[in-house]
Amino acid sequence: MFFSLFANENNQIEKIYNKPAQIDTKNASKLILKGDFIYWRAQQIGLFTSVFANKQVDLNKIAPAGNINKIEPNWEPGFKIQLGYKLDHDSWDTNLNWTWLKIKKSQNITGEADRDNDNGIFLLPLWGSGIRGPITNQYFLDRTLNLASSIDSILKIDLNILDWELEKDLFLSKNFSIKPFYGVRGLKIDQRLKMDLVSFNSSGALIRVPHAIKPRSDFLGIGPRGGIDATYDIFKNFGIYAIGSVSFLYGRFNCKYEDVYEQNSRLPFEDLINIRDKFYNSISAVQLASGFNFDFTLVNKKAHLIIQAGWEFNTLFSVNKMQHYQYRYEDENFYRENGDLTLQGLTVNARFDF
Low-confidence ranges of the chain (pLDDT < 70): 1-28, 54-66, 112-121, 128-147, 198-210, 261-272, 326-333
In angstroms, rounded to a whole number, what is the distance separating the alpha carbons of residues 20 and 196?
Answer: 59
Predicted local distance difference test score (pLDDT) of residue 59: 42
**pTM more than 0.85:** no
CA atoms within 13 A on the CB side of 62: 20
3-state secondary structure of 172: coil
Exposed (0-12), middle (13-18) or buried (19+): which is 3, by Cβ within 10 Å?
exposed
Residues 151, 198: contact at Cβ < 8 Å?
yes
In angstroms, rounded to a whole number, what is the distance separating the alpha carbons of residues 74 and 345?
Answer: 11
3-state secondary structure of 84: strand
Over the stretch 15-71, which tens digit does the pLDDT of each residue have?
Answer: 444 555 555 555 567 899 999 999 999 998 878 888 877 655 444 455 566 678 888
**Nearest alpha-carbon partner for 241 in 227, 253, 255, 251:** 227
Predicted local distance difference test score (pLDDT) of residue 271: 59
Predicted local distance difference test score (pLDDT) of residue 11: 47
In angstroms, rounded to a whole number, what is the distance separating the alpha carbons of residues 52 and 65?
Answer: 6
Give the chain's mean pLDDT: 79
Predicted local distance difference test score (pLDDT) of residue 110: 80
3-state secondary structure of 331: helix
**Among the residues of 51-137, which ranges form H helices?**
none
**Nearest alpha-carbon partner for 243 in 298, 151, 190, 313:** 313
**Nearest alpha-carbon partner for 215 in 45, 72, 73, 335:** 335
Predicted local distance difference test score (pLDDT) of residue 113: 56
Q: Is 205 left (phi over 0), alpha (psi -120 to 50) or beta?
A: beta
**What ranges make up the beta strands (E) of the chain?**
31-44, 48-56, 61-70, 75-86, 93-110, 112-114, 119-125, 150-167, 170-171, 176-200, 206-233, 238-261, 270-298, 303-320, 323-325, 334-336, 339-353
